Structures are given as C-alpha cells and as structure tokens.
Structure 1
Amino acid sequence: MARKANIAREEIHQACWELIEKNSFPNIPRLTEYFLQKDGRRCSNTTFLNAITDWEEAYKEQQQHELSELNDVLLPVFKRFSREVTQNLGKLLDEKSSEIEQHQKLKQEATRSGYMSLSSALIELQTAYDSLMSEHKKVGDEAETFKQKFAFSEQRYQEVIAQNSVLTSQIKQEEKDNAELRINLAQKEVDLAKQDNQIAKLTEENAKLAAFLEENQQNKIKNDAKKWQEMTKKLDALTSSVKTMQRKDRGTKQ
C-alpha cells in the first residue's frame, strides 16, 4: 500500500514555485527528488498529484494576471507615444509654415517698400529653409529614437507572449502526463489490492497447513508413545517369562 503522506500541501506548493523559478516545471519525479535532497521525506504520488493540480490553477491565474498587467502598462505607453509624436510634428510644421508665411510677407513688404533687396530676401528664405530642415532632422531623430524604443517594447511584448505560449504548452503536456499518471496509479492500486487479497489467502492457507502439520505431529507423537508403551509391556512380559523359566530350570537341577 502507498506510504502515508507526511509533507504538507503548502510545502509542496512552495516547492513548485521554487522549481518554476529554476525553469523546471513541477511534476511527481521532480518533487520527489526535491524533498529527498532537502530532508529525505517522502509521500504518496496521489498527494503530490493533488497538490500539483491545485498549484497549476494558481500558476495559470498568475500568468494571466501578469500578461494583463503588461498589456495595461504597454498599451497606454504606445498610444501616448503615438499621440505625442503626431502632436509634436503637427505643431512644428504649423510653426514653420507660419514662419515661412511671415517671412514671405516681410519680403513682399520689403520689396514694395524698397527696404529689402531681392538678394536679402533669398538669404533670409534660405536661412529659414535651413532652420526648418534642421528642426525637421531633429524631430526625425527624436521620432527614430521613439521608434526604436517602441520596437524594443514590442519585441519584449512578443517575447512575453511567446514565453506564455511555451508555458501553456508545457502545462498542457504536464496535464496529459498527470492524467496518465492518475490512470497508472489507479491501476497500480488495483493490482496492489489484488496482491493483498492473494497474500491474505496464502496467509490463511499457511495457517491452516501449519495447524494441520501440528495436529499430525501431535498424533504421531501419541502413536509413537503408544507403540513404545506396548513394546515396553511386551519386553517386560518377555523378561518375566525368561526369569520364570530360569527359576524352573534351577529347581529341576537341584
């Protein structure tokens, strides 16, 4: 029969968490090895199996909670980043467009008033254009930086999803293995019960045989004692007869 468990379910749950931190998914052989190395304790496979089943539910809830938290953190960041970039680009373009329009008005006024030559207008226009291009490059660099950060966050997000998928597959495989273990355990318990019945029958038969042998031994002892008594009586009678004959023989000679 299976040995009675002496390991608390909470201890088994803690062992499961420690194994998963080491990237080792808990199962009955690993838990058995864990407690043997820790303090040498053992318990039944059924106890391990029930505790693992409870722990798997808690583990699934934790994974779903972490994934939900990651979505809650990343999605607002992505949306805010996209919104800020769009707003900044729009604002910058509006400002530069206003500056160009203002310069254009100043040039037109200068031309009409005679205060600004055509070459000065071209220089100012070129200066404004260069400034706009410089700002455009700066915004482009910032956008590229944001894009890289976004790509990194997206990569991390996909890695978490992939890891969760792998863990889900592992859980399904472990559930399949645990189901097979349950079936094997049930069959072993049935076989063990049959063996117990056979042992009980053999024990009963051995007891009967021992009693029968004991009875035969006692009967043999009694029979041997009886035969010995009869032989003793015959020997005594023969001895007495011989003595009588000897006495008669001596009387005749006298």
Structure 2
Amino acid sequence: MLLATEDGLFEVVGGEARRRCCRGVWLADVARWRGSHYLCSPDLGVLKESGEVMAEGQCWSLKETGGRLLAFMSGPKIVDVGGGVVASYEALAEERGWYFPLPGYKPHFTDLARVGDLYVASTEVGDLMAGPSLNSMSPRPLFEDQHALAVAGDWLLVGTASGIYATKDLSNFEEANGAWGYVHGIARCGDVYVAQTMSPKPLWASRDGLVWDNLPLVLEEPTYGTTNIACAGDELLYAVHEIHLVDLRRWRAEKLGIRLPTVYKIVV
C-alpha cells in the first residue's frame, strides 16, 4: 500500500509505515507505472521517486487510461507523463469563470471516467466536461466544485462539495439521497459503493449510487482536498492520519496502529 501525504510518500510493509521519499513535499497522488513510482505534487509537478521531473507545473491527480499515464495539471491541462500535453483548457476556463479557492493555484481536472464512447472529466471548480476525445471535451450543465467520478450501472456519479449528483445522459442531473456535504472520494468495494464526506461519521455506503446509508462509525474527519478511501477487495481502507480497515458488511472498523502525516491518496 502506498500513501501520498502532505509530507512525502509512505509505504506500508509488514504492519509498519516506511517513508519512501520526499520529506517536506506535498503529494496529492502517486501511481505505479511501468516499474516506477510516479509522484504528483501541486508544488513540484510530476516526478519519479528518484526526483526526476517528468512534467512541470501543479499536479493534482494521476490516471491510467488507454495505455497511458495521465496527469491532471493546473490550467486545466492533461499531460501524458513522458509524452507532453494532451489537452489544454486554459482559454475555456477563463471564458467560463473556472477557479480554485486556494491562493496561488489554478483550476484543474480531478478525475476521469468513460461513459459510452465519451470521456468525462470533473473540474475543480468549473463545468463537468465530456467529449469523444480528451482534447475535444465541452461543458455539460453542472458547474460545481467537483472531486470524484464513478459509474454505477447506467448512472454517472459526480462527487462534489455539496454532495453527489447522478446523471444518465450528461444533461439532466439529480441529487443522490444521502452522502450530503463535501464529498472528495467515491470507491467501489465489491458490490458496495463507498463515499467519504467531511464529517465525524465520514463514510456512506450504497448499492446503486442513488441511495446512501451513513455508516455508524466515528472516525477521523477528512480535511479539504484529501481522498481517504480505497478498496482492498470487499473491504475498505480509510486513512486520514491513522489507517483503518473497514468491514462493509458488519460496519466495523479496525485501527491498524499506523500513524501518518495527513493522507491525500491511498493506492493499493
């Protein structure tokens, strides 16, 4: 298990967290790709664990798709790691008033999904985007602070700062019942969807993505910008500073006794 944190990269081995690199570096994401670890930093861009810079700028997320590792950079830009800029939407962002509330940083894409023959990208903060290719996406009628995408049957789920929106056609959106508030992560563990909100009871579970139950588990509350959930088979890993293994059938959480700097992304 790899953990991108506010203070570098950690790996959990044998029940202990071991620092791999980058003390003092804010990491938003990490990816294993072709035998190397690629790091995504809002301050340093995309770099290998060795320190080699692969893309300069502000990096917010990494996504593997179509045989490529893509980095979502401020602008927004989509960069093929090692292959250059795939798409830039800076002019559209300025035209439509996209923004990012943290001073010194710019709007960016946060996630990518495939819906039929379309790519769909979530924007922080701006329009949901969709199109047949990464460089031909156009705005859809959802302007929000968007953080996560998930496909649930015929529905696309969009996790935002004001809850989860669901759509079948990328034109009409409805609010999900539950998972209210600031959603910064949606994952699928077996046949259960899980969402995180900024709350003392942060975890929500759903079978269809439309109706959500709040798990009665008091855990560390997430902060802004962190994705604190990841699936390990049918079980859920949850980590803000301490790692918990959550049994989604019995609604129980086991603390693993590992303490970390603020976790921004978990990669299993």
TM-score over 0.5 for the alignment? no
Name which structure has the greater RCO, CA cutoff 8 Å, separation 6+.
1
TM-score after normalising by structure 2 = 0.17
Query: Counting helix residues as a fraction of each chain, which structure ranks higher?
Result: 1
Query: Counting strand residues as a fraction of each chain, which structure ranks higher?
Result: 2
* Structure with greater Cα Rg: 1
